[in-house]
Amino acid sequence: MKLYEKIQYCRKTAEMSQEMFAEKLSVSRQSVSKWETGTAAPDLDNLVAIARLFGVTTDWLLMED
């Protein structure tokens, strides 16, 4: 899986809408949408926040399977 697929997988597994996810990270829903389509990638701070939120490592998020 690629980064954008893992972000979407984690969010859906947590039964969280894009809006809820965006609020928790203090970003726009549009940013989340771009991350999940691979149009853009989260910056380092947001990547760390995503890992903490979902209880995964940044290594797991960044390494392609």
Per-residue pLDDT of the chain (65 residues), as tens digits, is 999 999 999 999 999 999 999 999 999 999 999 999 999 999 999 999 999 999 999 999 999 97
| Cα–Cα distance measured from residue 1 to residue 17, given in angstroms and rounded to the nearest whole number | 20
64: left (phi over 0), alpha (psi -120 to 50) or beta: beta
CA–CA distance from 7 to each of 28, 52 (Å)?
15, 12
pLDDT at 65: 79
pTM, two decimal places: 0.93
| Cα–Cα distance measured from residue 52 to residue 65, given in angstroms and rounded to the nearest whole number | 20
Closest CA to 53 of 65, 64, 42, 63: 42
